[in-house]
Amino acid sequence: MKIEENVSLRDLTTMNTGGKAKYFCRVCTIPELKEALDFVHKHSLPYFIIGGGSNLVFSDKGFSGLVIKMEIKSVVFKDKGGHVFVTAGAGVVWDDLVEETVERGLYGLENLSLIPGTVGAASVQNIGAYGTEVEEVIEQVEVLDIVTQKIKIFSHNECLFEYRKSFFKKEGKGKYIVVRVVFKLLKKSDVRLSYGSLKKVFDEKGISSPTPREIREAIIVVRKEKLPYDGDIGSAGSYFKNPIVSQDHYTKLLSMYPEMPGFSVSKSEVKIPAGWLIDNVCGLRGSRDGNVGTYEHQALVLVNYGNATTEEIKKFAEKIVACVKEKTNISLEREVEYVE
């Protein structure tokens, strides 16, 4: 393991912003991760773990400690009856894992195709898309206890998954580092086609039971139509979470915005697409302030068109939050993490 100094964070994040990390290293094994933590403790430094660098916005001032890039990348498949258990290192590129499971004809990850990032971050964030959340197929999460430097196994229930949250993003943050994740996938068909644009694709084709490969290919097409995959445009992915409001609040909003979509999450709560609010309530899809804007095909995505600073991005995000709050009394929460 090599410790580098004064490394640009722009080059390590998909938003292409931020200053420099005072120290930086890549870890490919658990012993290397322990070595990095020893360096942190020896020099009394803060540290931060990154994977693919998506969903993050670093400060323009940089990071005063050690940025550790997780690159533990082993993948093991174990066949057990009607299931296949897949153990993947936290540094495995998420979409590479999805691709491999689809190639093997396994069901469970296909709806999460083309999401940026790594396996470790996927479990921490409880990523989701097209009617599926990754928690549905996570069997257990293997972590390194930062204090004892021993491995600990968390069962699915112990991970305390919620919408875009997990134990590791809340109570366990700063206490554990995810090193491997075990997924429980199916050999037989278990497709999720409830999401509007995805359902439409297969209805038009007259396919009721698509293969994992067909679902993946359809989602890749849909995602590329809505999200920036041009390397010249910086993006951290979906910038805001979809807000969950009371049924009464949603009913009141429908009187003002009759076409507002809503999805029941309980008898008394409704989830509203944040992108719809930014686009249809505030009219900010495709808007731009200098080098920062919302993506022309998806208002939920903030983009860096060139040399935007983190402060410029934050101010633009605050403008969006203020508009949605004023018009709907909904307080948008960031999905993106700010790192100072």
The residue annotated as part of the active site, out of 164, 180, 216, 285, is 164
**164 annotated active-site:** yes
CA–CA distances in Å: residue 226 to residues 20, 110, 192, 219, 294: 31, 18, 20, 11, 12
Residue 236 · residue 54 · CB < 8 Å: yes
205: alpha, beta or left? (left if phi > 0; alpha if psi -120 to 50): alpha
The residue annotated as part of the active site, out of 71, 110, 135, 335, is 335
In degrees and rounded to multiples of 5, residue 127 shows phi and psi of -60, 155
CB atoms within 10 A of CB 104: 13
The residue annotated as part of the active site, out of 71, 136, 238, 285, is 238
Q: Which residues contact 237 (CB under 8 A, 6 or more apart)?
A: 14, 54, 55, 115, 116, 117, 227, 301, 335, 336
**35 annotated active-site:** no
CA angle 287, 197, 138 (to 5 degrees): 100
174: alpha, beta or left? (left if phi > 0; alpha if psi -120 to 50): left
In degrees and rounded to multiples of 5, residue 83 shows phi and psi of -120, 160
Contacts by 301-304, CB closer than 8 A, 24 or more apart = 301/227, 301/228, 301/235, 301/237, 301/238, 301/239, 301/275, 302/235, 302/236, 302/239, 303/228, 303/233, 303/234, 303/235, 304/15, 304/16, 304/17, 304/233, 304/234, 304/235
Using alpha carbons, select from 130, 138, 134, 140 the residue that is nearest to residue 191. Answer: 130
**133 annotated active-site:** no
Q: Quick one: angle between helices 196-205 and 212-226, nearest 10?
A: 120
Residues acting as catalytic residues: 164, 238, 335
